[in-house]
Structure 1
Amino acid sequence: MKNFTSVLQLTIFLSLLYLSATAQNLQLHYDFGKADDGELNADREHFTTTLEMFRPDSLGSTFFFVDMNYDSENGMSFAYWEIARTFKLPKIKNLRLELGYNDGMFIPSAWLVGLQTPFTIGPASISTSLYYRAEKGAKSADAQFTGVWFMMLFKGKVTLSGFVDVWSQDDYNLLGDKDGKRVVFLTEPQLWYNIHKKFALGGEVEFSRNLFTFDGDVEVMPTLAVKWTF
């Protein structure tokens, strides 16, 4: 109950803080996935809030999100955020320069620079990005591919959205020393039923490999959620 109270307080605070911005939403998820990494229990049974903002302009677009987990008696137990800025390139219609920054608790920060290609297929808006990835403390540079999709169906009643990330990062041996690279896979498709233009019910399913468990298994973490769009 204490965690839920903290979630409500944060939801109200963030709603007021970003009320003047455009094209953003606040999501409240309940994670109930089951996972393990050998003998380590990695189950999730907690609330997560996600604040997203996407704002296009004449020069390109800005996107950010902030994730916060509430798996502690005192409230928030984890926070992570990403921000990305694209810039249109002169005389090149569907190619943009993109700069990004990722950071969070217990996670090394990373700078990203690359190229983004936005396009549409039927009702779907899609973008693909290929980055040079520089993670703090990494033995050498890495690469990352990101794909993002968004579409509305059934006269705007249903929204399909999500992303897929694939990147390389340092691997470690049993002694805890850096030993080559490993590939991390993460995708989070979302499904929403839009009860109102501002309120939706739905959720997401997180599929990952080498993200928070390292036994080679693909982990599946579903959520149920509500979303408020400002």
Structure 2
Amino acid sequence: MKTALLFIAVASILSVQAQQLQVHYDFRNSIDPDLNRTNFASLTFEYFKSNDSTGSFLLKMQTDFSGENNNVGQLFLQVSKNLRYWRPKIQLALTYSGGLGVAPPSYGYYLTNTFGIGAAYPFQWKGAWFSTSLVYRFSAFPRPSHDPQFTFYFGKGLYNYKIMVAGSLVVWSENRNQGTDFTNGLTGKKIAFFGDPQCWVKVGKSLSVGSRINLFYHTLTNANRIQVYPTLALKNQF
């Protein structure tokens, strides 16, 4: 409930700024039924603002309708703030992510809070924009984990922005033993990553159709395998 109220409040505050709302249909059960009980729709709100002289701000909130009878199954929140009040283009990077979920029939869980601080470097090349960051990541497991995290963002408009290619890749390490019964007895670190390359085709002044490819490794399962789940989506920018 608190996460939903935060979503409404932030969306209201940022209503005068550029933002986008995406509706996705995720086909992961059709692709990988052993690990995914259903296909589902998801709703993603994103807000991004950049200023070369002071840094940038990113807010992402995603609601997955993966619960019983298409009810909300998971809420995810990500906030990134880059600061720059000096001449070098290296920026101070601050990050947060977390969320809540429900597993059938009615088992609640949370997506562990993570906090990061480090450095970011945005740049442009051949008409595309990029941003890289390397931060110290604190994961608030029952047995906390202290790790590096590397993030790479990219975006490029084609044919006068009628086609947009964008996305991100996040790579980090974390403790195998997180202080839970499920991970008890494990040792060492594991490498994990998440990626979401996207392609959008504009069909109206503010409406686009496209797809997002969700990439996971050691994020949804401890198995040593890359999970690839595409979506079919609509995006409205306003």
Task: State yes or no: 1:198 paired with 2:202.
Answer: no
* Alignment partner of 2:235 out of 204, 227, 230: 227
Relative contact order: is structure 1 or structure 2 higher (C-alpha 8 Å, sep ≥ 6)? Answer: 1
How do residues 6-155 of structure 1 correspond to structure 2 at under 5 angstroms? 17=12, 20-33=15-28, 34-35=31-32, 41-57=35-51, 58-72=53-67, 73=69, 75-92=71-88, 94-105=89-100, 106-137=110-141, 138-155=143-160
Task: State yes or no: 1:176 paired with 2:180.
Answer: no
Residues 56-110 of structure 1: CA deviation (Å, up to 9, x unaligned): 2452221110011002226211001110111114121x21001111111121101
Q: Name 2:162's counterpart in structure 1.
A: 157
Task: Specify the code of the residue in structure 1 equivalent to 2:183.
Answer: G
Residues 139-187 of structure 1: CA deviation (Å, up to 9, x unaligned): 4411100000011001211000000010011214996315211110211
Distance 1:47 1:210 in 2: 23
Distance 2:234 2:145 in 1: 40
Runs of 4 or more, structure 1, over 3 Å off, are 16-19, 172-175
Distance 1:21 1:170 in 2: 41
Q: Whose strand proportion is higher, 1 or 2?
A: 1
Number of aligned residue pairs: give it: 214
Structure 1 alignment gaps of length 5 or more? 1-12
Distance 1:217 1:67 in 2: 24
Q: Structure 2-normalised TM-score? A: 0.83
Task: State yes or no: 1:210 paired with 2:208.
Answer: no
Distance 2:66 2:19 in 1: 25
Residues 104-142 of structure 1: CA deviation (Å, up to 9, x unaligned): 112110110011100111121000000100111344411
Structure 2 alignment gaps of length 5 or more? 1-7, 101-109
Distance 1:120 1:201 in 2: 26
The two structures, once aligned, show a CA RMSD in angstroms of 2.3
Distance 2:14 2:140 in 1: 34
Distance 1:184 1:156, change over 3 A: same
Distance 1:127 1:193 in 2: 23
Q: Structure 1-normalised TM-score? A: 0.85
Shift of 1:17: 3.8
Distance 1:43 1:216, change over 3 A: farther
Shift of 1:18: 6.4
